[in-house]
């Protein structure tokens, strides 16, 4: 069933690609047309013969999926997350506390004294 769907779809798409130049008034691409019709007919008559082609196609698909995922996530990070992080650091009032101040001996922030047992009693 899966091999039949694969054969019909890939054969149809390759045949359409082969016919695209004919629509533009040029000579059709016979290589795509012949391969597409062959795969389409194999999908109809003997889909089991397409199993090596299907396995190779799935292997290529997995590799392309990993590459595309890496590229898309990298682009999202560097084009969206990074600029927001820089803008937050520049505009945040919290980050201005840590700017270099000359004449200060320490950047230690003093906490109000409290009982640690009371702080940890209801931690969550």
In this predicted structure, what is the pLDDT of residue 93?
67
Q: Is the pLDDT of residue 113 over 80?
A: no
| Percent of the chain surpassing pLDDT 70 | 78
60 touches 46 (CB < 8 A)? no
What is the biggest distance separating any 2 CA atoms in the chain, rounded to whole angstroms? Answer: 86
pTM for this one?
0.58
Q: Where are the domains of the chain?
A: 2-91
- How far does Cα 103 stand from its chain's mean position? 50
């Amino acid at each position: 069933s899966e091999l039949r769907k694969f054969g019909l779809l890939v054969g149809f798409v390759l045949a359409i690609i082969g016919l695209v130049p004919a629509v533009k008034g040029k000579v059709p691409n016979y290589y795509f047309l012949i391969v597409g019709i062959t795969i389409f007919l194999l999908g109809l008559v003997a889909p089991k013969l397409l199993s090596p082609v299907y396995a190779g196609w799935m292997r290529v698909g997995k590799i392309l999926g990993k590459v595309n995922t890496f590229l898309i996530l990298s682009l999202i990070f560097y084009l969206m997350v990074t600029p927001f992080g820089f803008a937050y650091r520049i505009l945040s009032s919290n980050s201005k506390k840590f700017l270099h101040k000359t004449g200060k001996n320490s950047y230690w922030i003093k906490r109000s004294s409290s009982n640690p047992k009371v702080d940890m009693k209801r931690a969550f």
